[in-house]
């Protein structure tokens, strides 16, 4: 009986072993699959994390870029009283910067000034100052210029541009002075504007600088700056004159013109204002239209502050004392 039991039980062991082996193999395979899935999942997570890190800077850049798209500044409404205060403060500041401000046309008498002012149209005061010494040496009085040969005058005035039209104006102006005003330049606005080639701008230059009578000179520099400063938005010279004149006492008009024109020629240029070197920047609504970097702005300065000569061959002593340099004569340098 013992032998029989042993014989019956022996076949069971191999079957059990095979089953166990198969179960182990299945378990291993399952474990391997699970590990593979886990690895894939880990790799996916890592890729997602890496992608997230790469994407993060873009979000940061977007956040930083947002302020650049800020809404435009709202126009500040300024009362008339506030405008008057700001305008007068600008003039006081400019008076400290340019205490030597003066008309930049060379002249010795009212006749020379009115002729020089007419010639200054469409050219620089410097070019006029380089040209008029030859003109006045040959034709010192209105009577002399009135009787001049137009061709000879044209040749002298050629460097100023539009020399034919200017020749006609100065000869006609001289004839009017000789025939209607006894060879003298009149000291009244209504008389001056009747002269050939003389408008309100020229008349106020003559009245303010030859006769000491207040006047506002609205040239291109003056008009540009007062609009930048929002003193007025007018473009017509007569309307600019009226609008700005209402902001200041009449006694300040002539020197105001000099201060503004000096500033326009030296710092507040038409194309590239030197904002970073401007003494009235805190008062200027247009600050930032030009170069704001102080070092770069200083390189834009013109005339005496930039080491270059001014407009006049014979400037006032106060200008020379302040470091101004006389302009060179025609053909020099």
pLDDT digits (tens, 9 = 90+) for 227-274: 999 999 999 999 999 999 999 999 999 999 999 999 999 999 999 999
Tell me the average pLDDT across 89-94.
98
148-170: average pLDDT? 96
The predicted model gives 273-295 an average pLDDT of 97
Q: Region 20-38: what's the mean pLDDT?
A: 49
pLDDT for the residue 21: 52
Find the range with the poorest average confidence among 28-37, 104-113, 211-220: 28-37
The closest alpha carbon to 228, from 169, 271, 189, belongs to: 271
8 A C-beta contact, residue 153 and residue 170 = yes
Angle CA(224)–CA(267)–CA(245) in degrees, nearest 5? 40
Write the CB contacts of 203 (distance below 8 Å, at least 6 apart in sequence). 189, 192, 193, 215
Report which listed range, 9-23, 36-50, 165-179, is most confident.
165-179
Could you tell me the two tokens for 223?
């008009």
Question: Which has the higher per-residue pLDDT, 307 or 329?
Answer: 329
Residue 130 clears pLDDT 80, i.e. is over it: yes
Q: How far is residue 227's CA from residue 205's CA, in Å, rounded to a whole number?
A: 21
What phi, psi does 186 have (nearest 5°)?
-70, 150
Q: Which two tokens stand for residue 310?
A: 């001014």
Residues of 260-298 as b/e, b for ≥16 C-beta within 10 angstroms? Answer: bbbbbbbbbbeeebbbbbbebbeebebbeebbbeeeebe
pLDDT band per the 50, 70, 90 thresholds, residue 3: very low
Cβ-in-10-Å burial (0-12, 13-18, 19+) of 83 comes to middle
**Across residues 82-107, what is the average pLDDT?**
96
Average pLDDT over every residue of 35-47 = 47
Q: Which of 201, 236, 238, 296 is catalytic?
A: 201
Q: Catalytic: which of 22, 219, 236, 238?
A: 219
- Mean pLDDT value of segment 13-42: 49
- The larger pLDDT score, comparing residue 21 to residue 112, is at 112
| Cβ contact 216:253 at 8 Å | yes
- State residue 37's pLDDT score: 42
Hey, which bits of 153-233 come out as E strands?
A: none
Q: According to the model, what pLDDT value does residue 67 have? A: 40
| 169 pLDDT above the threshold of 80 | yes
pLDDT score, position 8? 43
Of the candidate ranges 77-86, 128-137, 228-237, 319-328, the one whose mean pLDDT is the lowest: 319-328
Known catalytic membership, residue 239: no
Question: What share of residues in the chain are helix, strand, coil (percent, to 5)?
Answer: 65, 0, 35
d(CA 84, CA 80): 6
Q: With bands split at pLDDT 50, 70 and 90, how would you rate the model's confidence at 12?
A: very low
48 vs 59: CA distance, rounded Å:
16
Residue 106 is among the residues annotated as catalytic for this protein: no
Residue 116 has pLDDT above 70, yes or no: yes
- Please answer whether residues 285 and 279 qualify as being in contact, where contact means their C-beta atoms are separated by less than 8 angstroms: no
- Locate 303 and state its tokens: 């005339």
pLDDT reported for residue 308: 84
CA dist 296 and 274 (Å) reads 8
pLDDT band at 217 (very low <50, low <70, confident <90, very high): very high
Angle of helix 253-266 relative to helix 80-97, nearest 10 degrees? 70
């Amino acid at each position: 009986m013992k032998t029989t039991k042993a014989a019956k039980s022996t076949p069971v062991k191999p079957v059990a072993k095979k089953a166990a082996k198969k179960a182990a193999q299945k378990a291993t395979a399952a474990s391997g699959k699970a590990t593979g899935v886990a690895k894939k999942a880990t790799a996916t997570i890592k890729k997602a994390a890496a992608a997230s890190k790469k994407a993060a800077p873009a979000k940061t850049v977007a956040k930083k870029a947002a302020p650049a798209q800020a809404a435009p500044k709202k126009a500040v409404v300024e009362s008339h009283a506030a405008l008057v205060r700001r305008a007068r403060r600008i003039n006081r500041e400019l008076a400290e910067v340019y205490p030597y401000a003066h008309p930049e046309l060379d002249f010795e008498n009212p006749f020379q000034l009115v002729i020089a002012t007419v010639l200054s149209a469409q050219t620089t005061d410097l070019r006029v100052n380089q040209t008029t010494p030859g003109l006045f040496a040959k034709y010192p009085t209105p009577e002399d210029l009135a009787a001049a040969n137009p061709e000879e005058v044209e040749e002298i005035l050629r460097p100023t541009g539009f020399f034919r039209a200017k020749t006609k104006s100065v000869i006609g102006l001289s004839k009017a002075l000789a025939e209607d005003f006894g060879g003298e330049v009149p000291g009244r606005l209504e008389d001056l504007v009747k002269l050939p080639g003389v408008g309100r701008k020229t008349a106020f230059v003559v009245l303010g600088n030859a006769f000491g009578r207040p006047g506002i000179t609205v040239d291109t520099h003056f008009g540009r700056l007062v609009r930048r400063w929002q003193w007025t938005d007018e473009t017509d010279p007569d309307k600019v004159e009226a609008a700005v004149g209402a902001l200041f006492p009449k006694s300040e008009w002539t020197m105001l013109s000099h201060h503004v024109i000096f500033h326009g020629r030296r710092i507040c240029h038409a194309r590239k204002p030197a904002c970073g070197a401007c003494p009235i920047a805190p008062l200027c609504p247009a600050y930032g239209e030009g170069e704001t970097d102080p070092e770069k702005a200083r390189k834009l300065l013109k005339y005496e502050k930039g080491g270059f000569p001014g407009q006049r061959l014979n400037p006032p002593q106060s200008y020379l004392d302040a470091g101004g340099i006389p302009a060179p004569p025609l053909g020099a340098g």
